[in-house]
A and B are shown apart, each in its own frame.
Chain A
Amino acid sequence: MNHNETLDRSRNFRSWLMDKLLMGMSWPEYMRSLVTPFNIVAAIILIVGLPIIALRFLHGLAEVTHASNDYPWGLLLGWGLFGGVPLSATGFVMATAYYIFGFKEYRPLVRLGVLTGFLGYLFAVVYLLVDLGRPWRIYYPMFVGFGTASVLFLVAWHVATYLTVQFLEFSPAILEWLRSGRVRRWATMITIAMTIAGIILSTLHQSALGALFLLAPGKLHPLWYSSYIPHFFLASSIYAALVMVIVVSALCARFLRHRADSYFLDSLDRLTIGLGKGAAICMYVYLVLKLVGVAHDDNWALLSTGYGKWFLVEILGFVLVPALILTLGVKLGKPAIVRIGALYSIIGILVNRLNVSIVAFNWKLPGHLYHIIPPWKEVVIVLTITTIHILIFRWIVSRMPVIRQEPEFEDEPYNL
């Protein structure tokens, strides 16, 4: 009797869980729904990429990277850490705007921002795990040795703490998905504290990523090396977050439309314009800041050199032009234009971070531009991890209330 009851309950639990995981479909239905062009491409990438990641762990970094003593950091960190972290400021920026500054109308985008941020950080850590020489020691800065004068020590602590903070911030969505109302209420109570913790940690480690390079004045090209570099990184991470939310929400509305509710879809155009406006203003401020940086070090003469021209391409072609496109979209009230500008701005952020961490670093070494071309295996690893990132993002958005509200919890306050 008793035994049967347990059996029943576990069977119930199983079917409940399967229902959650398969989104109410049966196995065959679910499998059939997986055969899409996107998934096929993703599968091919994984089939090629995962063995290469395995190679890295079996044979060492030399197998997949340049393994260069002069270029210790390559694409894995340039893309995954330096590019990924500013684009993951979404959680901190959206939560701050909504909870602290009271931009209430952005509510439909807050969760999306937090999820994008959380996964962004999670994957920055994944890239790090692939790139670290001994990844199994990743906790060493927390428990074994404390390089308190090291900016990287700060980054390590902050990224670890902030990852936890973001998980807690996102946990209400998970709990709603699991229909755990009581825990959820408890989890939302700490939102404000978590948001403020997020502001502290984010401002510090976003700027710290730039400050890492302060230690290498002779190696980073003077146009990129500046005592203001922490400010540059922080300022650009804020607009990076705004444009990232524009693009991610647009992609969701396009490809995951059936997971969204009308609350999300109907407000999207209006909010996109609002975000675009904010981003454009930030970008103009950032641009002025960059010019102040050049003036401060009196580097005007360098602008006529080859690197100077590339610098101008970066700040004019990849900051000013996208900012102008955003402005145009806002002025015309055309969300489509804003979205194009936002995508362009994201590319601009990546260009900047790759410039600092790869292109302008070691600029004096002979054959420099040849050395920075990444080996194909490293590129494949980046592609693979990016694919996994997208798949997990989609998995979560498909199941949890991210771009829709869970009817049961709709009326629950978001704390304001």
Chain B
Amino acid sequence: MSKEVKEKDPILKEPFSRRDFLKTLSIATGSLIVGSAGSASAYRKIKGYRNSYGMLVDLTLCVGCRSCERACNEVNNLPKPDTPFDDATVFERLRRPTAKAYTVVNRYEIEGSGPVYRKIQCNHCNEPACFSACPIHAYTKTPEGAVLYDENRCFGCRYCMIACPFYIPAYDYESALRPRIMKCIFCYPRIKQNRIPACAEACPTGTLTFGRREDLLKLARRRILRNPSRYIDHIYGEHEAGGTSWLYISGVPFKDIGFPEDIPDEPLITQVKGFLSAVPVVFTVWPALFGMCYAAVKHRYKGKREETSRKEGKDEPQ
């Protein structure tokens, strides 16, 4: 099945449009004025790209071999893992991506269906919360789908980590001089070379299918439809947080295998929209309002002061 999509849809046959990307960038960086209308409108410009790539993770196929972890580690030149990749004891506790590992596989013992494995990495959201959070614009959503982080624009506030609903970005706290966010890059350099992400290439069971997000959604639906007893009827990532490039189908409810479940279907930035649009109002209304107030009070005092100084001469230092 995974082959089928790959062949039908060779990577980046047609050049992607850079226009949208540049537009986003110029809008976002162009409005320097603090809290101007720019902040209110910027959030609307980061729509997911229509032809972007994605990854379908079929959790029913994953056997927990951690080949993806190993491939990711090698391709991204990450430090040696604490426990070797063939050591199954790592499954004894739940892990999360760290500064040393962009992706980890966890095991969940589910009653009635044996162990279920779940691969965790950045989901490359269509409208990423990390992107919206960063005050310096260190994140970009590329038209290919990857959400990339630029270390050179980061001062380490870690608000992106607070914002990410999937607990993905990790911080390199150990470093004094060059601490930075570490997270999956969707093998962006490989995608640019028309190769698929290393994890998908390494996966021996066909759990990971790389392709256009639109096609993957269809594929996922088809699988669920054909085999309703194997899957629950939910494609995680289709709508979560406004949709993510990575999509998951599973045989057990997602909440049982650690997927956050109370994430709204809209991009998270919509939660802040109301607040941001109030900013220009404050900037224009407040000076008028309080200026008037000041004028009125001053006027009143002037009258009073003249009165008192007429009566008793001035003795209060006003």
Q: Which residues of A contact B (CB under 8 A)?
A: 57-62, 65, 67, 69-70, 72-73, 96, 99-102, 104, 132-135, 137-138, 140-141, 144-158, 161, 192, 195-196, 199-200, 203-204, 207-208, 211-219, 227, 230, 361, 366, 405, 410-414, 416
CB pair B275 A411 closer than 8 Å: no
Q: Check A216–B163 contact: CB distance below 8 A.
A: yes
Determine the chain B residues whose CB is within 8 A of the CB of A65 once the complex forms: 173
Do the beta carbons of A149 and B170 come within 8 Å of each other?
Answer: no
| Contact A69 B96, beta carbon cutoff 8 Å | yes
Nearest residue, chain B, Cβ from A154: B35
Q: Which of B96, B132, B159, B179 is the most central at the interface, judged by chain A CB atoms within 10 Å of its CB?
A: B159
Nearest Cβ in chain B — how far from A110, in angstroms? 13
Whole-angstrom CA separation of A199 from B180 in the bound complex: 36
Q: Distance in Å from the Cβ of A84 to the closest Cβ of chain B?
A: 16
Q: Is the CB of A140 within 8 A of B96?
A: no
Tell me if A212 and B297 are in contact (CB < 8 A): no
**A96, B301: Cβ atoms under 8 Å?**
no
Q: Indicate which residue in B158, B283, B294, B317 contacts A73 across the interface (CB closer than 8 Å).
A: B158
| Further contacts, 6 of them, CB under 8 A, given A140-B155, A203-B286 | A57-B176, A65-B173, A147-B134, A151-B272, A215-B133, A215-B162
Contact A150 B171 (CB under 8 A): no
Complex-state Cα separation, A146 to B135, whole angstroms: 6
Given the contacts A141-B135, A217-B264, A416 and B279 also touching, CB distance less than 8 Å: no
Q: Which residues of A contact B173 (CB under 8 A)?
A: 60-62, 65, 67, 133
Residues from chain A with a CB closer than 8 A to the CB of B162 are: 72-73, 212-213, 215-216, 219, 361
Q: Which residues from chain B sit less than 8 Å from chain A, CB to CB?
A: 28-29, 31-32, 34-36, 38-39, 42-43, 46, 94, 96-99, 129, 132-138, 153-159, 161-163, 165, 167, 169-171, 173-176, 178-180, 260, 262-264, 268-269, 271-272, 274-276, 279, 282-283, 286-287, 290-291, 293-294, 297-298, 300-301, 317-318
Cα separation A199 to B290 with both chains bound (whole Å): 9
| Chain B residues closer than 8 Å to A219, beta-carbon distance | 162, 165
A196 surroundings in chain B (CB, below 8 A): 286-287, 290-291, 294
Residue of B whose beta carbon sits closest to that of A155: B135
Collect the chain B residues with CB atoms within 8 Å of residue A140's CB.
Answer: 135-136, 153, 155
Q: Is the CB of B174 within 8 A of A60?
A: yes
Chain A residues within an 8 Å CB radius of B298:
102, 416
Tell me the nearest residue of chain A to B314, going by C-beta: A411
A218–B176 CA distance with the chains assembled, in angstroms: 31
Q: Is the CB of B275 within 8 A of A138?
A: no
- Whether B96 contacts A70 by the Cβ 8 Å rule is yes
Chain B residues with CB below 8 A from A59, complex form: 176
In the complex, the answer to whether A146 meets B286 with C-beta atoms within 8 Å is: no
Q: Do residues B96 and A72 form an inter-chain contact, with CB atoms below 8 A?
A: no
Asked whether A148 and B156 contact (CB < 8 A) given A133-B179, A215-B163, A416-B318, the answer is no
A322–B263 alpha-carbon span in the complex (Å): 36
Which residue of chain A lies nearest to B151 when distances are taken between CB atoms in the complex? A134
Q: Given A134-B154, A144-B153, A410-B317 in contact, is the A152-B263 Cβ separation under 8 Å?
A: no
Complex formed: what's the CA distance from A120 to B272 in Å? 27
Most A-side CB within 10 Å, residue of B158, B275, B287: B275
Contact, CB under 8 Å: B301 / A218:
no
A416 to B294, CA, bound (A): 9
Inter-subunit contact A61/B179 (CB<8 Å): yes
Q: Is the CB of B260 within 8 A of A218?
A: yes
A295 to chain B, nearest CB (A): 19
In whole angstroms, how far apart are the Cα atoms of A99 and B170 in the complex?
A: 48
In the complex, residue of chain B having the shortest beta-carbon distance to the beta carbon of A137: B155
Q: Is the CB of A152 within 8 A of B154?
A: no
Q: Does the CB pair A133–B155 fall under 8 Å?
A: yes
A161-B135 in contact (CB<8A): no
Instruction: Report chain B residues within 8 Å CB of A72.
Output: 158-159, 161-162, 171
Least CB distance from A214 to B in Å reads 5
Question: Once the chains bind, are B43 and A149 in contact (CB under 8 Å)?
Answer: yes
**Cα distance A411–B274 in the bound complex, in angstroms:** 47
Decide: B133 and A150 in contact? CB cutoff 8 A: yes
The answer for the CA separation of A132 and B158 in the assembled complex, in Å, is 8
Chain A proximity of B168: nearest CB distance (Å): 9
Chain B residues with CB under 8 A of A158: 34-35
Asked if A215 contacts B137 (CB within 8 A), the reply is no
Partner of A101, one of B178, B262, B274, B297: B297
Show 6 residue pairs from A and B whose CB-CB distance is below 8 angstroms, ordered by the A residue: A61-B173, A101-B297, A102-B297, A146-B136, A147-B134, A217-B263
Chain B residues with Cβ below 8 Å from A361 are 162
B276 touching A149, Cβ below 8 Å: yes
B291 partner residues in chain A, CB cutoff 8 A: 196
Q: A67-B174, A137-B155, A140-B155 are in contact. Are A145 and B137 (CB under 8 A)?
A: yes
Cα A55 to Cα B272 with chains together (Å)? 37
A residues in contact with B156, CB < 8 Å? 132-135, 137
Contacts of B135 in A (CB 8 A): 140-141, 145, 147, 150, 152-153, 155-156
User: Do B132 and A149 touch (CB < 8 A)?
Assistant: yes
Residues of B near A230 (CB, < 8 A) are 275
Which of B32, B98, B260, B293 is in CB contact (< 8 Å) with A146?
B32
